[in-house]
Amino acid sequence: MNQLANFHTDISDRFAAVRSVEESFAVLAEVVRPYGYTRFHYTQAYLKKDGQILDTATFSGMGAEYRKSVQAEAHKMEDPFVTHCRSSGRPKLWSELPLDYYSPDMTEKHRYKIRHISDHGLRAGVTVRLRRVPYGDGIFSAGMSLVQDPTDSGEEHDRAFLAQQSTIRSICEHLMTSLSFGELSRHHYKLSDREYDVLSLLAEGLQVQQIADHLTLADRTAAHHLSAMRSKLGARSNAQAVAIAIKMQVL
């Protein structure tokens, strides 16, 4: 009992000492490695009233090659794990994907993503839903995928996970406690300090010229930062940018 208590105290202290999103996930990577996990992918999302996703923010430790391949073909894919976590709190084992592939609930985009995962040999892993809470007029949701090496057995992983599930979940909860969801969203959108400044002033109701005056910028420069900010948020207007930023906790 004392050993377990000491374990949780040590993990809690390590996460409590972090000062950034990057540090939080660096600690996570170290803590889950003894359980065979060498990769991870975190997603947080805002769900509208109808259950549709407004937007997602992610932090990936899946490796540069895998991330690059996903980014290149993202328009062809829909994440089956995000879809699962929208409707279920049950841990999703990656070994289930071959059966899911033939489910009528899967779209062609889901199947493309499943083939992509299979092509990379990833079959030993799990996705857990960590948050699903009311936020604004929608729902804030978050989940984590922990994945082992391509050479690892899905069956062996599943047996080990079922035996260690409470510990793995506890580690993920410590991560969630350490995270600033707003900082993670800002990191995801890659907003510069100046782009964040103009977004904040825009949310306060200032117009372009007022923003320029407040920041001692030329009107054209302020407009440039606003345009760059909208592009990064995927917004078509200033109002939409503010709405996305609020719901994704950037503001």
For the chain, the domains span: 2-179, 190-247
Does residue 97 contact residue 80 with C-beta atoms inside 8 Å? yes
Q: What is the pLDDT along the chain (251 residues), one digit of tens a residue?
A: 566 667 778 888 899 898 999 999 999 999 999 999 999 999 999 998 888 888 999 999 999 899 999 999 999 999 999 999 988 999 999 999 999 999 999 999 999 999 999 999 999 999 999 999 999 889 999 999 999 999 999 999 999 999 999 999 999 999 999 999 999 999 999 999 999 999 999 999 999 999 999 999 999 999 999 999 999 999 999 999 999 999 999 99
> How many C-beta atoms lie closer than 10 Å to residue 183's C-beta?
15
Distance between CA 119 and CA 159 in Å, rounded?
A: 23
List 147's β-bridge partners, or say none: 39, 125
Tell me the C-alpha distance between 107 and 104, whole Å: 8
Nearest 5°: the CA angle 194, 199, 205 is 130
- Domain 190-247 top-level CATH class: mainly alpha
Tell me the sheet residues that pair with 125. 147
- The yes or no reply on domain 2-179 and CATH 2.40.370.10 is no
Quote the distance between the C-alpha of residue 102 and its chain's center.
Answer: 26
Please say whether the beta carbons of 131 and 139 come within 8 A. no
For the entire predicted model, the pTM comes to 0.89
